[in-house]
Amino acid sequence: MEVVQALGWDRYGWLRHGFSTRGGGVSTVYSGGEEAGELNLGWTNEDDPARVAENRGRFTRTVTGEIAGKAGWPLVTLRQVHSDGVRVVRRGDGALEGRLQTDEGKAVWEGDGLITNVPGVLLGIQTADCVPVMVVDVGKKVVGVFHAGWRGTLAGIVARGVDAMKAEYGSREEDLAAAVGPSIGACCYSVGEEVRRGFEAGYGYGGELFEEVGGETRFDLWEANRRQLVDAGVSAERIAVVGECTACALDAAGRRRYFSHRAEKGFAGRMLSVVGVMGSQPK
Ligand SMILES: [Zn+2]
């Protein structure tokens, strides 16, 4: 299984994080049953929930470095709604006991961002073209992950996330680092006029995010989130943009490296992007 990580974050020994790719799982529904198992991490209608559960276990254990068969870190996900809603995972709210997910592993809370300083919990965002953004406070050991499609980015989800880290934990801007994960690139992302109008109205630099190519309006969602992070106070040198397009990146064997909602016309699995704080789990 290949897990994508932010350049330079291996220096933070207390941090566990990873962006999933397509290979290394047990799902077959999105490959026509022909290829080696795929790592669908979303509870999609088409896939077998038992396979998704197995995939989730494999992926989270790979990220945390735990041994198969052990319970592992609880995963907290959200019912994502393309909003600017950020939820704080606190000790005592049931995250460590797995109560922020149903027995079937589905999300209980609604929102598009999660932050925490509680060790031993993985925060996860699901995507299949939208941008997963992570922000970490390397001074206070706080982590956050955010779901930034065009609507969430327009609403300012990562700016709200940084605001929440400052308000909840007293995070200082000079301690923040961020990663913009694999997601649809400007190479493959043509959008309608309403997207351009929204960003031009909402952001001073909005017009710079678009380019006319062959009669299409291409939108750079990576740059939109990078600019938003810089405006929120994250130093440009501390923002890692992975820069791989989910719609067109291929793996070494020439297969699709990611699931892509757009490239696969809606029939696609989901990636997970997870981040957490290493530490002893209080019981
Ligand atoms: Zn592309």
Question: pLDDT tens, 20-43?
Answer: 999 999 999 998 766 679 999 999
Instruction: Give the distance (Å) from ligand 1 centre to CA of residue 221.
Output: 12
Instruction: Give the distance (Å) from ligand 1 centre to CA of residue 194.
Output: 21
| Mean pLDDT across 131-135 | 98
Instruction: Give the distance (Å) from ligand 1 centre to CA of residue 262.
Output: 10
Provide the 8-state DSSP code for 223: H
End-to-end CA distance of the chain: 31
Mean pLDDT of the chain: 94
Instruction: Give the distance (Å) from ligand 1 centre to CA of residue 186.
Output: 7
pLDDT in tens, 156-211: 999 999 999 999 999 999 999 999 999 999 999 999 999 999 999 999 999 999 99
Instruction: Give the distance (Å) from ligand 1 centre to CA of residue 243.
Output: 10
Distance CA 176, CA 115 (A): 13
Distance CA 274, CA 132 (A): 9
**CA 114 remoteness from chain centre:** 10
pLDDT value of position 283: 42
Asked whether 248 and 259 are in contact (CB, 8 A), the reply is no
Instruction: Give the distance (Å) from ligand 1 centre to CA of residue 259.
Output: 12
SS3 for 76? strand
Instruction: Give the distance (Å) from ligand 1 centre to CA of residue 275.
Output: 25
Select from 105, 108, 115, 129 the least CA-distant residue to 43.
Answer: 105
Instruction: Give the distance (Å) from ligand 1 centre to CA of residue 278.
Output: 34
Instruction: Give the distance (Å) from ligand 1 centre to CA of residue 150.
Output: 16
Distance CA 180, CA 205 (A): 19
Instruction: Give the distance (Å) from ligand 1 centre to CA of residue 271.
Output: 16
pLDDT value of position 267: 94
- Chain position carrying tokens 């290493």: 278
pTM score, whole prediction: 0.96
CATH code of the domain made up of 11-277:
3.60.140.10
pLDDT in tens, 228-272: 999 999 999 999 999 999 999 999 989 999 999 999 999 999 999
Instruction: Give the distance (Å) from ligand 1 centre to CA of residue 161.
Output: 27
Instruction: Give the distance (Å) from ligand 1 centre to CA of residue 231.
Output: 26
Instruction: Give the distance (Å) from ligand 1 centre to CA of residue 248.
Output: 4
pLDDT in tens, 105-118: 899 999 999 999 99
Instruction: Give the distance (Å) from ligand 1 centre to CA of residue 96.
Output: 38
Instruction: Give the distance (Å) from ligand 1 centre to CA of residue 277.
Output: 32
The tokens of 86 are what? 């950020």
Instruction: Give the distance (Å) from ligand 1 centre to CA of residue 265.
Output: 14
